[in-house]
Structure 1
Amino acid sequence: MEWIVFFETWIWLGFAATGFAILFNVPPRTLWVIFIMGALGGTVKLICLKLGMNIILSSLMGALLIGFLSIRAAHLRHSPPFVFAIPAVIPMVPGAFTYRMMLGIIHLTGENDHAVFLQLLQETVDNGLKAFFVLSALSLGVSAPMLLSRNKSIKETKPNKFLNKLFDSKKASD
């Protein structure tokens, strides 16, 4: 039964990424790649959460996968990497934490009891910081692979070139 839920979640993550891609008017030839990337990135996040990682690191892992896959997809589909990465990562945005933070701010404005006010303030700040750090992890995870592997132009970069340089410099230092 758990595999059915896992597969259903995978499908919905892919559809959400594809929906944002259509909203952003990306080329139709990129839609199936965005579907797969969104599903894989969100699934990695969910698996990491299931394994006990916190939401921030789980989001970073999913976004890093999307970042690296978008570099490869850019070469295969002849489009900029952000065409693939941004719609694929949007389903991982922490809407619930942001919503709870905004609701907490609204409740704080009308609260007169000091003890309840402090409890609401603590929950609001907690939700706001979680949302901030998850968004930071998503942006870092998507952009870091592209920044690290970029030399001049995306057409001139080879994802393996960066990895070869990285491993060759380790061998030289040993």
Structure 2
Amino acid sequence: MLELLLKGFWSGIAAVGFAILFNVPKRTLFPIGAMGAIGGLVKFGLMYFGVGIVFSSFVGATVVGIISIQMAHLKNSPPLVFSIPGVIPMVPGAFAYRMMLGLIALIQLEDSDTYIQTLIDMVNNGAKMSFILMSLAIGVSMPMLITRKESIKRSKFNKEKKVTV
């Protein structure tokens, strides 16, 4: 359980680091850190109970997306200011790294058995990475799309301007 809390804490720290890198307003740093920690706790908590990494990432990103809408109203900032840095710690960098190492190793291998095993591992890591990235994108954007109050067609920015002569 302590390991789970530590992963959540470090997810929050990583979210704040990326928020600083993206130059967000200072008033949003604490909520971003909290959202990163909550998203990390949800993801790693579900994985601890045996849920797959893809679905865990989806649920964690969805939680971050839902909280980002509320934080946007409280802090008068766009929801993306909160959701993107909060989700970045869940990006599957290890799978991407292993996939690239496998791709590089394929160039040097001559033994067919080792080549096939390396190819299988590379495709497996690439598929996991792709599905996790898709689940993060869908999970973080779905709450914003569902809770949108009006269509852009009825927005005040889409009104035709009357020209008088």
Q: Which runs of 5+ in 2 are unaligned?
A: 152-165
Matching residue of 2:52: 54
Return the alpha-carbon distance in structure 1 between the equivalents of residues 104 and 15 of structure 2: 31
Matching residue of 2:5: 7
For 1:39-68, what per-residue CA distance to the aligned partner results, in whole angstroms no more than 9, with x for missing partners? 000110000001100000000010000000
Q: Does 1:92 align with 2:86?
A: no
- Identity score, percent: 52
Return the alpha-carbon distance in structure 1 between the equivalents of residues 148 and 133 of structure 2: 23
Return the alpha-carbon distance in structure 2 between the equivalents of residues 20 and 152 of structure 1: 31
Q: Does 1:75 align with 2:73?
A: yes
Aligned length in residues:
151
The answer on whether the counterparts of 2:4 and 2:44 sit within 8 Å (CA) in structure 1 is no
Return the alpha-carbon distance in structure 1 between the equivalents of residues 5 and 112 of structure 2: 47
Query: Alignment RMSD, CA only?
Result: 1.1
TM-score by length of 1: 0.84
Q: Does 1:134 align with 2:122?
A: no
Q: Which runs of 5+ in 1 are unaligned?
A: 154-174
Cα deviation for residue 115 of structure 1 reads 1.3
Matching residue of 2:154: none
TM-score by length of 2: 0.88
Return the alpha-carbon distance in structure 2 between the equivalents of residues 6 and 123 of structure 1: 27
For 1:111-165, what per-residue CA distance to the aligned partner results, in whole angstroms no more than 9, with x for missing partners? 1111111111100000000000000000000001001111238xxxxxxxxxxxx
**Letter matched to residue 79 of structure 1:** S
Cα deviation for residue 10 of structure 1 reads 2.3
